[in-house]
């Protein structure tokens, strides 16, 4: 299959590209810089120069391919406009793919996120539609979900479209800017590994190589209009994560009282996030796509040499 990949040099894309090539697919990667072009070429991909702002170029590239994997985002918009601006820029991209692929039955696999605040009272499943916004999140859920819902609705136009919801923690040997490095940095700075309240709230996680395999399987055989869950650890108590980080740094794991979380204290801007529970199931993904995670789970992967290089 000739596959167009956007975001092929990012954290997820840099694993998706070799995953596809190893499976025998011909990958064309979109590159906006010489550095990105060199990286994609080194991985064995064909390079086309351009960026996701060029909708006509994207439509042509998509039409010339047998399928599309989209994991690129306008990260440059985050500082000034936040997630709303990123989503607003991404929506016309998805519609452009729809124009290029309508009626072809070709696959479009786009990246999403689990994003459940645990309000369901149970693990989120692939059958759950995009969650509505809430006052608590000031519309941020709606901003992202509009994009994912649009991708799913392209199935009605003859596109084999689906969304891979990626776990909250995506760990692996090249994880430099994810949630886990942020927690480790906080523990180093504060001298303690903190967890909110009793730390019983649940977080989900996946190894980046296993996540890449979900994208490949969704591209190859996933039916249209589905959400997939790239999640292996469906619910790890936050306290266990803090204790594992603390033990490797040689610092104690301590409770941060809930009534102190909103103060400019231990967690800072992460305070509203760390208090939530994000349990998630992967049953439908495993049964429908035949996906089985094989990489180390989160707590074991802490010893991969990247997170604690001095150990």
The per-residue pLDDT for 134 is 45
Which of 43, 32, 16 lies closest to 76, judged by CA? 32
Please answer whether residues 8 and 14 qualify as being in contact, where contact means their C-beta atoms are separated by less than 8 angstroms.
yes
Q: Do 95 and 185 sit in the same domain of this protein? A: no
Q: Do 93 and 128 sit in the same domain of this protein? A: yes
Confidence of residue 162 (pLDDT cuts 50, 70, 90): very high
Q: Do 13 and 110 sit in the same domain of this protein? A: yes
The per-residue pLDDT for 252 is 97
Q: What would the mean pLDDT of 159-165 be, rounded to a whole number?
A: 97
Give 3's strand partners: 27, 67
Please answer whether residues 52 and 30 qualify as being in contact, where contact means their C-beta atoms are separated by less than 8 angstroms.
yes
- pTM over 0.85, yes/no: yes
The per-residue pLDDT for 104 is 98
| Within-domain flag for 51 | yes
Q: Do 104 and 72 sit in the same domain of this protein? A: yes
The tens digit of pLDDT for each residue in 176-197 reads 888 999 999 999 999 999 999 9
Domain containing residue 18: CATH number: 3.40.50.720
Please answer whether residues 27 and 8 qualify as being in contact, where contact means their C-beta atoms are separated by less than 8 angstroms.
yes
The per-residue pLDDT for 133 is 44
Q: Do 103 and 245 sit in the same domain of this protein? A: no
The per-residue pLDDT for 6 is 96
Q: Do 156 and 267 sit in the same domain of this protein? A: no
The residue range of the domain holding 221 is: 2-168+206-232+279-295
| Within-domain flag for 128 | yes
| Within-domain flag for 309 | no
The per-residue pLDDT for 116 is 53
Confidence of residue 115 (pLDDT cuts 50, 70, 90): low
Q: What would the mean pLDDT of 95-102 be, rounded to a whole number?
A: 97
Q: Do 222 and 270 sit in the same domain of this protein? A: no
**Distance (Å, whole) CA 172 – CA 91:** 29
Beta-carbon contacts of 139 under 8 Å, excluding residues fewer than 6 positions away, are: 84, 133
Confidence of residue 81 (pLDDT cuts 50, 70, 90): low
**Distance (Å, whole) CA 278 – CA 251:** 26
**Distance (Å, whole) CA 16 – CA 216:** 7
Among 91-100, 253-262, 288-297, which stretch is predicted with the lowest mean pLDDT?
253-262
The per-residue pLDDT for 140 is 42
Say which residue the tokens 């709303």 belong to: 84
The per-residue pLDDT for 137 is 40
Q: Do 246 and 99 sit in the same domain of this protein? A: no
For residue 206, which phi and psi values (nearest 5 degrees)? -155, 150
Among 67-81, 155-169, 223-237, 243-257, which stretch is predicted with the lowest mean pLDDT?
67-81
Residue 285 above 90 pLDDT? yes
Confidence of residue 138 (pLDDT cuts 50, 70, 90): very low
Q: Do 156 and 250 sit in the same domain of this protein? A: no
Per-chain mean pLDDT for the chain: 90
The per-residue pLDDT for 221 is 97
The per-residue pLDDT for 259 is 78
Q: What would the mean pLDDT of 256-260 be, rounded to a whole number?
A: 83
The per-residue pLDDT for 176 is 87
């Amino acid at each position: 299959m000739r596959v167009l990949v956007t975001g092929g040099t990012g954290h997820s894309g840099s694993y998706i590209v070799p995953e596809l090539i190893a499976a025998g697919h011909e990958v064309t990667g979109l590159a906006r810089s010489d550095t990105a072009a060199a990286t994609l070429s080194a991985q064995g991909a064909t390079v086309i120069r351009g960026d996701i702002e060029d909708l006509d170029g994207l439509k042509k590239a998509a039409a010339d391919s047998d399928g599309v994997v989209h994991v690129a985002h306008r990260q440059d918009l985050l500082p000034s406009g936040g997630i709303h601006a990123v989503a607003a820029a991404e929506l016309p991209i998805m519609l452009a793919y729809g124009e290029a692929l309508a009626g072809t039955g070709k696959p479009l696999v786009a990246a999403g996120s689990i994003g459940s605040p645990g309000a369901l009272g149970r693990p989120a499943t692939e059958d759950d539609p995009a969650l509505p916004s809430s006052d608590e999140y000031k519309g941020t859920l709606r901003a992202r979900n509009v994009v994912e819902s649009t991708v799913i609705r392209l199935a009605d136009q003859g596109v084999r479209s689906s969304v891979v919801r990626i776990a909250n923690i995506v760990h692996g040997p090249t994880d430099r800017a994810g949630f886990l490095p942020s927690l480790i940095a906080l523990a180093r700075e504060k001298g303690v590994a903190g967890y909110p309240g009793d730390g019983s709230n649940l977080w989900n996680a996946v190894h980046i190589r296993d996540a890449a395999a979900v994208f490949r399987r969704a591209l190859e055989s996933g039916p249209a209009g589905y959400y997939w869950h790239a999640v292996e650890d469906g619910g790890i108590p936050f306290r266990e994560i803090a204790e594992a980080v603390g033990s490797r740094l040689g610092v104690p794991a301590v409770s941060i009282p809930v009534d102190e979380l909103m103060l400019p204290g231990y967690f800072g801007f992460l305070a509203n996030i760390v208090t939530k529970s994000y349990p998630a199931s992967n049953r439908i993904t495993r049964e429908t796509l035949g996906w089985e995670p094989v990489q180390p789970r989160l707590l074991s992967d802490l010893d991969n040499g990247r997170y604690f290089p001095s150990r």
